[in-house]
């Protein structure tokens, strides 16, 4: 099906059909209606360029995903795929920006006609990009929540609640001293929102339940994970529950516990925060709080499409965490 077929059916020239699609020239209401009716009858699908011209849009959104130190790239790519898939379902492409350019990068991409809107990831509590996002002429959505979210549109997992639900699960099993093996130190130095909120929920829930909390920032390299686990077991022998919020550290942590002669869950219970496949493919399968990358990316795109349509959007959308019990947690072992 070509534009000439529509023109012949409507009794107009191909250029008239093009003008109806692009809106670049005034066409009488009667002619426009006749062309649109022919498009409907014939089932003609304008190509993406024509649709973009008609709406004065690029039909492209930018995903700002800076690959900074401490970022676990496989999980970051799960977010990227979810955004791309959801955008394609809405006939939009995605421009992926991975350099840590800060507010300068936002101004650069917004200063062109390349994109209609922007999705921003790796959000810090005091993110330097926030003031720029408030003044850009482009709609934006953040996957993450800064300390001051006024005038923004944000979506995230409720990481405070995620930290809490992990402690609540372990406390229910009788564990009285629990550790959080957290993100690499560079993530905390940047005051990345998801990492800080997980710690806050973890520590608050522990205090409220009379559980002793310990937070251990940890690099992901196996040798460093093993050293952190060794120091934890040596210096805090009462720890019987561990929450891991560091995806690449999960396998080395389980290896280090086995090397130390600690059975999971017989001696130590382990809860992970991360993608389902990380938990289900571990040995033993891990009790976990799911990181819903597909839902988070899809929600971000849906919110951005609402903003492009001038619809009202909530300031903050928090996805409630879901803990799935598996074989890595059990009642605290009896004291000798």
Among residues 163, 105, 169, the alpha carbon closest in space to that of 138 is found at 105
pLDDT of residue 111: 78
Among 179, 163, 173, which residue's Cα sits nearest to residue 212? 179
**Looking at the domain 3-46, which fold is it?**
434 Repressor (Amino-terminal Domain) (1.10.260)
pLDDT digits (tens, 9 = 90+) for 73-92: 999 999 999 999 999 998 89
Q: What is the pLDDT of residue 106?
A: 87
For the segment 19-33, what is each residue's pLDDT rounded down to a tens digit?
Answer: 777 665 678 888 988
CATH H-level, domain 60-157+293-319: superfamily = Response regulator (3.40.50.2300)
Instruction: Give Cα separations from 53 to 22, 48, 219, 250 (angstroms).
Output: 5, 9, 49, 49
H helix intervals, the chain: 3-10, 14-22, 29-42, 48-55, 73-89, 102-110, 130-135, 159-172, 185-189, 193-208, 222-235, 250-259, 276-280, 293-308
Q: Rounded mean pLDDT of 273-285? A: 97
Residue range 88-104, pLDDT digits in tens: 998 899 999 998 878 88
Give pLDDT, residue 52.
52
Whether residue 326 contacts residue 169, with contact meaning beta carbons closer than 8 Å, is answered with no
Q: Three-class SS of residue 157?
A: strand
Looking at per-residue pLDDT, the higher value among 256 and 109 belongs to 256
Residue 165, number of CB atoms within 10 A of its CB: 22
Q: What is the pLDDT of residues 187-221, one digit of tens each?
A: 999 999 999 999 999 999 999 999 999 999 999 99
Do residues 73 and 248 touch, judged by C-beta distance below 8 A? Answer: no
d(CA 290, CA 235): 30
CA–CA distance, 78 with 332 (Å, rounded to integer) = 35
Average pLDDT along the chain:
92
Each residue of 143-193: pLDDT tens digit? 999 999 999 999 999 999 999 999 999 999 999 999 999 999 999 999 999
pLDDT bin (cut points 50, 70, 90) of residue 274 is: very high
Domain pair 60-157+293-319 / 159-291, same fold: yes
Over pLDDT 90: what percentage of the chain? 72
What pLDDT, in 10s, does the model give residues 102-147? 888 888 888 777 899 999 999 999 999 999 999 888 899 999 999 9
pLDDT for residue 10 is more than 70: yes
- In tens, the pLDDT along 33-54 reads 898 888 888 887 765 555 554 5
**Is 18 within 8 Å of 7 (Cβ atoms)?**
no
Domain boundaries, the chain: 3-46, 60-157+293-319, 159-291
pLDDT tens-place string over residues 289-323: 999 999 999 999 999 999 988 889 999 999 999 99
Binning pLDDT at 50, 70 and 90, where does residue 55 land?
A: low
159-291 CATH fold = Rossmann fold (3.40.50)
Backbone angles phi, psi at 106, to 5 degrees: -65, -45
* Averaged pLDDT for residues 256-284: 97
Structure tokens at 195: 């990492």
What are the φ and ψ backbone dihedral angles of 56, each rounded to 5 degrees?
60, 35
């Amino acid at each position: 099906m070509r534009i000439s077929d529509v023109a012949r059916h409507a009794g107009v020239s191909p250029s008239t059909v093009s003008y109806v699609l692009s809106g670049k020239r005034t066409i009488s209401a009667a002619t426009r209606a006749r062309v649109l009716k022919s498009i409907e009858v014939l089932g003609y699908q304008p190509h993406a360029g024509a649709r973009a011209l008609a709406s004065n849009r690029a039909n492209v959104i930018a995903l700002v995903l800076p690959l900074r130190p401490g970022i676990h790239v496989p999980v970051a790519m799960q977010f990227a795929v979810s955004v791309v898939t959801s955008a394609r379902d809405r006939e939009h492409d995605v421009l992926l920006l991975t350099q840590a350019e800060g507010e300068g990068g936002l101004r650069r991409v917004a200063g062109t006609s390349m994109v209609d809107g922007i999705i921003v990831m790796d959000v810090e509590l005091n993110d330097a990009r926030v003031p720029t996002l408030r003044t850009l002429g482009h709609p934006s959505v953040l996957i993450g929540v800064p300390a001051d979210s006024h005038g923004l549109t944000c979506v995230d997992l409720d990481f405070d609640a995620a930290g809490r639900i992990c402690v609540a699960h372990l406390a229910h099993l009788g564990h009285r001293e629990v550790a959080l093996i957290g993100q690499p130190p560079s993530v905390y130095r940047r005051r990345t929102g998801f990492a800080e909120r997980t710690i806050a929920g973890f520590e608050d829930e522990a205090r409220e339940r009379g559980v002793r909390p310990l937070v251990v920032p940890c690099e992901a390299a196996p040798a460093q994970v093993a050293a952190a686990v060794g120091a934890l077991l040596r210096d805090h022998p009462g720890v019987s529950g561990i929450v891991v919020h560091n995806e690449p550290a999960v396998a080395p942590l389980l290896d280090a516990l086995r090397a130390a002669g600690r059975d999971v869950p017989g001696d130590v219970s382990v809860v992970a925060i991360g993608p389902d496949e990380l938990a289900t493919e571990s040995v033993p399968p891990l009790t976990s709080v799911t990181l819903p990358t597909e839902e988070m990316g899809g929600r971000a795109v849906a919110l951005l499409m609402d903003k492009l349509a001038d619809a009202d959007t909530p300031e903050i959308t928090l996805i409630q965490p879901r803990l799935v019990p598996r074989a890595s947690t059990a009642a605290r072992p009896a004291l000798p």
